[in-house]
Amino acid sequence: APALSPKQIMAADAAAKAALERDKLVGLAYGLIHGGRVAHTAGLGLADREAGVPVSTQTRFRWASVSKPLTAVAAMQLVQKGLLGLDDDVRKYVPEFPDKGEKITVRHLLCHQSGIVHYANGKVVKRQRDYTTPHPFADVVTALDTFCDSPLIHPPGAKYSYTTHGYMLLSAVVERAGKKPFAEQVQERIAKPLGLETLRPDYQWEEIPWRAIGYRKLNGNEIHKSSNTDVSWKLGGGGYISTIDDFAGFAAGLTRHTLVDAATERLIWAPQNLADGKATNYGLGFGVATDKAGRLRVSHSGSQEKTRTMLVIFPREQTGVVVMTNSEWANPGQIAMEILSAVTGEPPAGGTR
């Protein structure tokens, strides 16, 4: 594809700056994917307001729930290799997960139809036990203790119910099926092939340079530092961190067929049906939709302490946009569409998730 013109990049920068100023964001970074490659990245505002540190391409932002697509891709790579079956019972790989009286499959986890509780849509029961290591939940199987005794909120396949806990279980399935620690598999099969040098778990006990400070609004519009919450326990559902370049690099890699073959890719992008045949707008790890121009649009958002994120790609056109911010009141989906509109000259489209 022809390269983006200087005029298009200037328009995208202007749209990002306008969003930063309009929404009074502290910091913002975005990236453009074009021709299956990262065409442009930029940082605006401040990564640390108090210290006056600007956002740059070195700033590390939390991915939040865009960590789920990482987990989904790692799982589908194993499916492609015949090491994991989409319709396998998850207890085949993780027998430690209690029998809920219903078969929960790998597919159910991937498309949020497992019935596993999220944060506030049902009763979350944490297993009480003593641990001998300082960070026990860095082990993705042990981390299941944070919710595994919770009752299901509906029978598997009956409804679409978004759940980070379900993706935590999926990361444990990947670990067992791939016979290596989950984080190692992500590094070996996703980060390394795509050259994502800063992608890593956001372990609070490790020194990670250039971490962005997060901000939230209190007492109306007063902007304060956010809590520095530990997210190590939910690695596969929301525990990764990187620069905007590597966030964009993952998005670009998804458009180049680098990580899975064409047949597996078609499975990932296919909207999944409920048990009664009703269609959903979620595939295997990604929100999927068809825009007004008939193009397949694949997306995922992230919302967490210290961050808001958005990934939008058009796989067949090999284009897309990613957004990361340290301001918790931001709407990254809206910002992403405004930036994309500035590049294409088309009106902003909704429907991202």
Q: Mind telling me the catalytic residues?
A: 65
3-class SS of residue 30: strand
DSSP string, 290-347: E-TTS-EEEEEEEEETTEEEEEEEETTTTEEEEEEESBTT--HHHHHHHHHHHHH-SP
C-alpha to C-alpha distance for 302 and 164, rounded to whole angstroms: 11
Q: Can you read off the two tokens belonging to residue 146?
A: 């944070």
Q: Which residues contact 178 (CB under 8 A, 6 or more apart)?
A: 74, 78, 83, 185
3-state DSSP assignment of residue 70: helix
Question: Which among 95, 35, 24 has a CA at the least distance from the CA of 320?
Answer: 35
DSSP string covering 153-206, please?
SS-TTS-----HHHHHHHHHHHHHHHTS-HHHHHIIIIIHHHT-TT-EE--TTS
**CB atoms near residue 191 (< 10 Å):** 23
